[in-house]
Each structure stands twice: as C-alpha cells, then as structure tokens.
Amino acid sequence: MNNLTTAAIAGIILCFSAIPTAAETPEEKGRWIAEQTDRRDLGWGDSEVHLTMTLRNREGQSSIRKLSIASLEVDEPKLGDRSLTLFDEPRDIEGTAFLSHTRILDPDDQWLYLPALKRVKRISSQNKSGPFVGSEFAYEDLVSQEVERYTYKYLRDEPCGDRTCFVSERFPVYEHSGYTRQVTWVDHTDFQPRKVEYYDRKGDLLKVLELVEYRQYLGKYWRAHRLEMVNHQTGKSTTLAFSDYSFKLGLNDGDFRKSRLERLR
Amino acid sequence: MSQGTGWLDRHVTGYAEWLIRWRWAVVAVSLVIALAAAAGGQFLGFSTNYRVFFSPQNPQLQAFESLQRIYVREDNISIVIRPHQGNVFQPGLLRDVRALTEDAWKVPYATRVDSLTNFQNSTAEGDDLAVRDLVPADSPLDAADLVRIREAALAEPLIRDRLIAPDARTLSVNITVTLPLKSETEVPESMAYARRLVDGFRQAHPEVRVALTGSVALNHAFSESAEHDIATLVPLMYGVLLLVMGVLLRSIAGTVATLLVIGLSAASAMGLAGWLGILLTPPSVTAPTIILTLAIADSIHILITMLQNMRRGADKRTALVESLRINFEPVFLTSLTTFIGFLSLNFSDAPPFRDLGNITAIGVAAAWIYSIGFLPALMAILPVRVKQRPIGYAGAMDRLADFVVGRRRAVLAVMVAVVAVLVALVPRIELNDQFVNYFDRSIPFRQDTDFAMEHLSGIYQAQWSLPAPGPGGISDPDYLARVEDFADWLRAHDIVVHVQTITDIFSRLNKNMHGDDPAWYRLPQERDLAAQYLLLFEMSLPYGLDLNNQINVDKSATRIVATLENITTNELRSLDDAAAVWLSENLPSAAGTTASGPFVMFAYIAKRNIEGMLTGTFAAFVLISLTLMAALRSVRLGLISLVPNLVPAFMAFGVWSVLVGQIGLASSVVTATSLGIIVDATVHFLSKYQRARRTSGASAEQAVRYAFSTVGTALWVTTAVLIAGFAVLSLSTFEINASLGQLTALTLFMGIVADFLLLPTLLLLLAGRGGRDSESTLPTVQQAAE
C-alpha cells in the first residue's frame, strides 16, 4: 500500500510538474503556456502544404484562392521562420510568389515576384496588419507565432470542445500591429491553439479565429487543417483549408532566397 | 331628425344621467386607465438612425443594404478643419491632425480612418514599391517636407477635393463607422467620442474652425432635433391652447377639465406608443402637439354648449345632459373621420409617418373617450359658475350668408376660377429632399455641414457598384478603361466634386512601377499585370486601410463614389438617370446599374411616399365620404361634400407652389391628415343645412342662412384654433414638420373658405336646379333643438 501511495503521489507530482505552481504570476503562467506550445513545435525542419482560402461577405458571395506554401524552420534568436507562398488561383495571379523572412520584433523582409512583370519587388513591410490577399486574415495572423512577439497574461481554465483550455491574453510587442490584444484558448493536452479572439485599437472585439481538424505529423507536430476567421465588425469571413502536408523535404536556405523567386515557374 | 337619431338621443340621455350618477367612479377609472397607458412612456426612446425613414420594402434601401453587404456597411463622421487664416500646411497643425487621425481610430465602432496624414502614399523606391503614410510619425515637417506633402496631396485625385480642398485651406479627417445597428446608443456613443476629440482639437487650435458632419452626425441630428422639438413645441402648444380656452370658455372649471382631457389624451397616446415599442423620430414627436390641437375640439364643443345652456338659465346637470345629447353624434363623427385620416398614414412608405398616424389616431380615439366620459363626469363634480347673459355674435355670419346667397353665381364663378388657377399651379412644385436642409440652422449638424460643403465637399454622395465580366474581372483592361471613362464622365459634371475610383489606384501603381514617371500614369494594359499590381499594393496596406470597401470579394465589381455639390434631389435624379443611360451604352457588364446611397434614398423618398399615400388618401377619402353619407343619410349631400373636402388640399398646394416652390416628404401626408380634419366643418355645416330642410321644410336659401347662423361662428373659431395649433409646428427645428404644419394650416384655411363660399353656392345652385332635396320627404320626428 505504502509503495502504491508513493507511486501515486510521484505520478501526480510528475503529471503536474509541467503545470506551474500557484506562486507564479498570471504573466509568468501565460508565457509558460506559450513556451510549451513553442517547444512542442521545435524541429519540424521544413514543410510544404496546399491551401484553399474561401472568402465570404455578408451578402453570401464567396471567392476562392489557391496557393501552396513552403516553410523553413529557423532556429536563431530574433529571427522567425521563412516561407515561400506560390499563388495558383485565380488565374490572373498564377505564378505570383511571395517570399518572407520573418523577424520576431523588427519588420520582416518580404518580396513579391510578379510574373506579368517578370520582376521581384520588395514590399515595405511595416504594414503587416493589413489583410492578406483580401481575406480576413492579416499577414500578422499567419506568420509563425514566436514566443517573444507578445507579452502574456493567463486568465483562467475553460472547457473547449471535449478538452480543457488555458485562456490567456497576449499583447503584441512588435510595432505596427493592428491589435491591442488577443485572447487565446490553448488546450491542456497538446498545447495547441483552438481559438483566438482579436481586439482592435479601441479594445473592441474584431475577429474570432477557430482552429479545427488537428492532425499530428511525424508523431509529434500538430497542424490544424481548417481555420475559420469571422470578422464580427463587418460580418465577413475567411476559411483556410490546408491539405497534403509534407515534412522533411530537404529544403534549405537556398530555396528561400530572393534569387530563387524568379526561377520558380 | 330621423327615427335613428331619436333612438340615439334617448340612449345618450340615459348614458349622460348614468355618467353623472357615477361621476366619481368614472373620473377615478379614467385616471387609472390613463396612468396605465401613460406608464408605457418609460419605454419611449429616440431613434438614432436615418434608415428609419425607409421601410424594409423600400427598393432604394434594399439596393443600398445589398451594396453594403457586398462591400462594407459604413456610416461616417467627418471632421472638417479650416484655419481662419492661411493654409493647412503648418507644422503644428499637421502634427495635431496626425494625432487626431490616430485618436480617431478609437471612436466607438470606427473601422477606418482616412486623412491627409495617413493616406497610403505609394512611391517608387529604386526598383521597389514603397507604401507609407503621407505624413509619417517621423516626418520632420520642415519647409522641404511640407512642400513634399503639399505637392503630393494636391496632385492626388484620390484625396484632392475629398480630404483636402484644392486651395489647401481646408482638410478633413474621415472616420468610417460600422454600426452594429443593435442598439440606439451606438450613434450617441460615437458622436460623444468624436465631439470630445473635436473639443480637444479646438482648445489646442483656437485659430481653426472645426466642423463635425457625416452620416453619423446626421443620425444624431435626427434625435437631437426630435428631443429639442418635444421640449419646446409641446409647452408652447399648451400655452396657445390655454389662451384659446381662456377666450372661448371663460370658465376656470372648463379650462381645467379641458387641459386634463387633452393632457390625458396625449399622455395616453404617447404611453401606448411606448407599450407598442414605437421609437420616436422627428415626425412622430409632433404627435402630442397634433393630439393636443385635435383633442381640444371635442371638449370645446361639449363645454360651449353646456356653458351656453347654463348662461340661458339651465342648471348644470340639465345643461350637461343636453350638451351630451346634442354633441354626442357630431363629436363621434368628427373623431371618426380624423381617426380614419390619420390611420391612412399607414400607407406611407416611411415608418415615422406610420408611427405619427397611429399615435395620433390613438390620441384622437383617447380624446373622444375622455371627452364623453371623463370630461362630463369631472364637470359634474367641479363647481361651475356662469353669468346669465344672452349670446349673439352671429351678426357677421348673417352678413356673410346674405352675401353668399345674394351673389351666389358670382361667388361660385370666382371660387371656381381661383380653384382652377391654384390647381394649375400644383404641378410646378418641385419635390426636393436635401436632408441637410431638414434641419434649421439652430441644429449644429446643419451649420457644420453647410460649412463643410462650402469649403471642401459635402455629405451628399452617390455610389455605383459596377459589375465586371466575371470573377477577377476588375483587372480586365477593357473594363478598367470603361470605368475610368465613367469616372471622367461624372467629373465633367459641375455638380460632381470628387470621384473615388479604383482606376486611379491602378494608374498610380503603374506610374510607381515605372520609376514614378508621370508618363506612365495610366491604366495597365494587361489583365495579369493589373491583378498582380493590385496584389502587391494590397499586401502593402496597413490595418483598416485595405481596398475591401472598393472591391468585392471575388473581384468582380468595384464601387465608384461621387461626392456632390449641394444639389437638389431633382438634380440627383437627373444625374442618376443620365448615368444609367451612359452605363447601358458604354459599360455592358454594368448595364442597369443605378446610383445608391443615403442621398439617393432620400431623392426618391417623397415620390415613393406620395405613391403609397395616393392609395392611402383615396382609401381615407372613400371611407370618410361613406361615413358622411351615412351620417347625413343622403348620398346626394355626401357627393356634394366631396368638393369642399377635396378642393382645399389642391388649393393649399397651389398657394405653396407660388410661395415656396419646393416640397419634400411632408407633402405626401398632408392631404390625408388634413382631410380628416377639414371634413369636420363640412359635417357641421351640412348637418345643420339638412336639419333645416328636413325638419322645417326650409328652402335651400333658408337652410344655408340657418347653417351660417347656427354653426358659422363655431366653425371659424374651431378652424382658427386648429390653424393656430398647426402653426406651432412651423416652429419645429425639423423642416418636414414645419412644412407639414404650414401646409396643414393652409389647407385648413382653404377648407373653411371652401365651406363658407363654395359649399353653400353649390347647395343653392344644385338645389335650385333639382328642386327640393329628394330625400326630404322622410318623416320628421322632432324639432331640432337649436
């Protein structure tokens, strides 16, 4: 019995060792949750995925954009991941490619290759708060969510679907954000974001993002396959549907250089 | 009178005696009912959206709502800034305009802020596209920088005449507000915040005039005007009526009782409006004023007869019973016709007029109930003292009767000529609903908007959503060229101040992509290129300043917005028609597109309401005429009565066309509402005429004299009271109410003219031809009381 009790206590202690003690401040706990999410996503290397964006307005009209995204994990301080986005549809922007080297706090480096002009143009990217190709997603919603981009504050626990979630606030630290704060729902089990609320400069609710259809890759990395963003001020919405994830394709720095853009076709 | 009336007389007498016996209970029950009804007043609120003027079925509203669902639902607040001296390119001023622009994002429900300082200025930077604020935070604002900003701003068609005047003396910060439309507090919240911003700016810059306009300010002005009116007109109305009663009744008890009746009627009606969830608007807040005017007539008829009887020596109880017996039917009839007239406002397309009609109809019904229940019961309680004296001021009326009878043909000929001339003038009236002019200059919105229109650009806009051939079609060079042609066509009109079009952005990007060479300021010639420019530009825009307000979701349509001079809605309708023709000839994919927007909605509001009210007025006219025929028990007199009931409105509009020339929304409802009121005088005149002919076998001539001498004085006195009442409305801060009051007063005046000059001559001439009234052989039961 004694042994069993000890084992049980040890088990409980082990289970909860990942959970911060009550002595921690809400700020520390919020950051700790973000670190857990980040930690679970280390080492995926590189990936490719197809994306279908569906844009809808209040009149019920919709429009579809198709693109594929190649990403490269960058594990350096102050730098975020790199990504190369290739537009497939609609036809008149087919072959347009968007390359981005994200930085955690400073403005990102961004280039766009315009096939009709056969030229690469650098984008002044102070403005990462604008809508991404007319959708309800801002560019800043789509880039990798590095821990250092925000300060945090844990609020409470709350059921989310059949799981339990940490609910925390986070406040953008980088310049030119369109938001004053975001509220995130991150589940207890896998530390994946399930829902994000975005609050505008007035502090009013602007958008709500729900992330569903999580699937695990390489036995470790979780990816949501469906992102639903609803703008509560305009009634517009955008759905992102991801398909055909592939990992460890052997992509490297060279595949994410400006000079690569022109040779993509 | 006929047997039916004898039956009614007996019952009314019985009722009157019952009422006097149970006077305390009747007064108590009346007060309880009135209190219960009036308690609904706590739910009354003021509507804060101009959209309430349009029914959900209104085609212009539906078109605009659809447009707003496709792009973005937007209202706006525009802060217009003009230094008393010099231009706006002063470092201190620009710095604070920049700060104001930043702060404006915090206005409740703001979704976008456009100003000179945050204009997304795209430039070529080496081989790249730079997109940044025209006046960034780190702008030095030294002499060279100010020149750069000035040149860029004044050369830019996207902002010149919209955010900055060409003379550089006036600029504006435009806040786009997306109201959730869930609560009536949204507009006051936004306005309060904007006003605080403006106050702060004014304190920092006393050398600058700052004006606040836009559709949110318009919304706010509606509620401010309504609140102002209810606070000033109602007390004024009580004052006028108190004066009238003092002169007419010369009885403290009678005045107190009447004040209570009209007060309870108005309170009950407004309270029931609260229970029904009606939101107050400038038209519907005139309801209590109108109810007070209409309700007083019932009381006065009953009290005057009672007091007259007492002055002749009757005791109070007898006088009261007798008064009820004589007045029960006419008071019921006149209330019924007025009730019908106001209910016909339900045919109006504009819900505020339906509310006005329903609240007033409730008030008229309440006034009738209180007048035949509460009033006599209260009079039975209150001490009433009168000096016994003979009454007789019919001298003037007898002379008028002599004149009309003696010169019947000449009078009729002149009247017919006058009516014909006035009717011929009616079509000259121009329908105009410039909603800014709805408000008089005491309302800040009017002053500020006039100022903005004079120095920069106005609030009047027309917008077109131009479909392209298929998804992504807006990048089609042919489509773009035609949209640009349309913009140029619009700009060629003197009344067009500014045109916002996506083609200017394409031309600008093309120039940027060619090293800012002005020669390349033209539309890209290939579809893919245009689409990719757009993608590049869109990816460079910051939060809130995207193109979603100009391009629809699948890029198959763009929105073009024309800002207009201070033009009449007539001119706007012409522009809309001409644009529709141009589009069907030159932009096939947009054939059939018409203009949209709030100003366009108001441009068609009067016409649409008149169409609705034609049916309503006709229905009211038929119902009221049938009521008259039944009451007079004569089809023939009913038909004759059509003339004096119908003609006054035409005469009033004829006079209006000469004196004023323009009319808006108010015009649609005047005929119906005044019909129910003017008919009262006709009823009184005809019933006396009828009584004389049937009971005493009088000739038409004698009967006309009898009618003049018995009701002539009462008719002009009550008409004078009504005219005074509606004249009070002309003091409204809201032009529609003022016009409604003036036109109704004018119609009532024409009504009494027609009743005194046209109706008797018609009776004389038609009776002369047809001999005795064919129905006068009906058995007579009793002599008329008077």
> CA B607, CA B433: separation in Å to the nearest integer?
10
% of chain B beyond a pLDDT of 90: 34
pLDDT at B779 over 60: no
For residue A9, the model assigns a pLDDT of: 57
pLDDT at A100 over 80: yes
Is residue A198 one of the residues assigned to a domain? yes
For the segment B134-163, the average pLDDT, to the nearest whole number, is 88
pLDDT at B115 over 90: yes
Q: Considering chain B, what is the average pLDDT of its residues?
A: 87
Interface predicted TM-score (ipTM) of this complex, two decimals: 0.84
Is residue A40 one of the residues assigned to a domain? yes
For the segment B466-474, the average pLDDT, to the nearest whole number, is 88
Chain A residues 199-228 within an 8 A CB cutoff of chain B:
200-202, 204
For the segment B722-736, the average pLDDT, to the nearest whole number, is 89
Q: Considering chain A, what is the average pLDDT of its residues?
A: 84
> CA B597, CA B604: separation in Å to the nearest integer?
11
Q: Which of B78-82, B155-159, B597-601, B780-784 tops mean pLDDT?
A: B78-82
For residue B503 the two structure tokens come to 């083609």
pLDDT at B7 over 80: no
% of chain B beyond a pLDDT of 70: 96
Q: List, in order, residues 6 or more apart from B546 with CB less than 8 Å away.
A: A130, A131, A134, B538
pLDDT at A21 over 70: no
- Which residue in A59, A90, A125 is closest to B66 by CB distance? A59
Strand locations in A181-220 (E): 181-187, 193-199, 205-217
> CA A197, CA B459: separation in Å to the nearest integer?
35
Residue bearing the bigger pLDDT, A207 or A146: A207
pLDDT in tens, B257-290: 989 999 999 999 999 999 998 888 888 888 988 8
B450 confidence band (pLDDT: 50, 70, 90): very high
Chain A residues 8-37 within an 8 A CB cutoff of chain B:
none
Local structure of residue B756 (DSSP, 8 states)? I
A4 confidence band (pLDDT: 50, 70, 90): low
Is residue A6 one of the residues assigned to a domain? no
> CA B320, CA B573: separation in Å to the nearest integer?
59
Choose, out of A66, A88, A124, the residue to mutate when testing the contact with B (most B CBs < 10 Å).
A124
For the segment B168-195, the average pLDDT, to the nearest whole number, is 90
> Domain locations in chain B?
74-221
Question: Which chain A residues are Cβ-neighbours of B520 within 8 angstroms?
Answer: none
Nearest to B73 by CA among B45, B44, B49: B49
- A244 touching B, CB under 8 A? no
For the segment B323-346, the average pLDDT, to the nearest whole number, is 89
For residue A125, the model assigns a pLDDT of: 57
Residues B591 and B482 sit within 8 Å (Cβ to Cβ): no
Look at chain A and report how many structural domains it folds into. 1
Is residue A18 one of the residues assigned to a domain? no
pLDDT in tens, B30-62: 999 999 999 998 888 888 788 888 888 888 888
For residue B391, the model assigns a pLDDT of: 53
- A114 touching B, CB under 8 A? yes
For residue B605, the model assigns a pLDDT of: 85
> CA B751, CA B117: separation in Å to the nearest integer?
61
Nearest to B537 by CA among B130, B115, B117: B130
Residues A100 and A79 sit within 8 Å (Cβ to Cβ): no
pLDDT in tens, B683-697: 888 888 888 888 778
Strand locations in B158-223 (E): 171-177, 208-213
- B535 touching A, CB under 8 A? yes
B621 confidence band (pLDDT: 50, 70, 90): confident
Min CA distance, B470 vs chain A (Å)?
11
Is residue A97 one of the residues assigned to a domain? yes
pLDDT at B157 over 70: yes
pLDDT at B365 over 90: yes
* Region of poorest pLDDT, from A4-8, A226-230, B380-384, B522-526: A4-8
For residue A234, the model assigns a pLDDT of: 85
Residue bearing the bigger pLDDT, B7 or B451: B451
B606 confidence band (pLDDT: 50, 70, 90): confident
For residue A49, the model assigns a pLDDT of: 93
For residue B776, the model assigns a pLDDT of: 41
Chain A residues 170-199 within an 8 A CB cutoff of chain B:
176-178
Q: List, in order, residues 6 or more apart from A48 with CB less than 8 Å away.
A: A68, A69, A70, A71, A244, A245, A246, A249, A251
> CA B112, CA B550: separation in Å to the nearest integer?
13
pLDDT at B248 over 80: no
For the segment B587-606, the average pLDDT, to the nearest whole number, is 87
The domain B74-221 having CATH identifier 2.30.38: the answer here is: no
For residue B781, the model assigns a pLDDT of: 32
Residue bearing the bigger pLDDT, B776 or B135: B135
For the segment B335-339, the average pLDDT, to the nearest whole number, is 91
Q: What is the dihedral of CA A39, A45, A50, A53, to 10 degrees?
A: 40
B612 confidence band (pLDDT: 50, 70, 90): confident
- B528 touching A, CB under 8 A? yes
For position A170, which CATH number holds? 2.50.20.10
The whole domain housing A256 covers 24-261
A59 confidence band (pLDDT: 50, 70, 90): confident
Positive or negative, the Cα torsion across A254, A258, A259, A261?
positive
pLDDT at A168 over 90: yes
Min CA distance, A91 vs chain B (Å)?
8
Q: List, in order, residues 6 or more apart from B155 with CB less than 8 Å away.
A: none
For residue B483, the model assigns a pLDDT of: 93
> CA A55, CA B556: separation in Å to the nearest integer?
13
Residue bearing the bigger pLDDT, A223 or B393: A223
- B554 touching A, CB under 8 A? yes
pLDDT at A2 over 70: no
pLDDT in tens, B542-574: 877 788 888 888 888 999 999 998 888 888 999
> CA B461, CA B215: separation in Å to the nearest integer?
11
Q: Which residues pair with A50 in a beta bridge?
A: A68, A243
- Tell me if A63 and B538 make a contact (CB, 8 A cut-off): no
% of chain A beyond a pLDDT of 90: 29
> CA B489, CA B615: separation in Å to the nearest integer?
39
> CA B256, CA B383: separation in Å to the nearest integer?
11
Say what the pTM is: 0.83
- B586 touching A, CB under 8 A? no
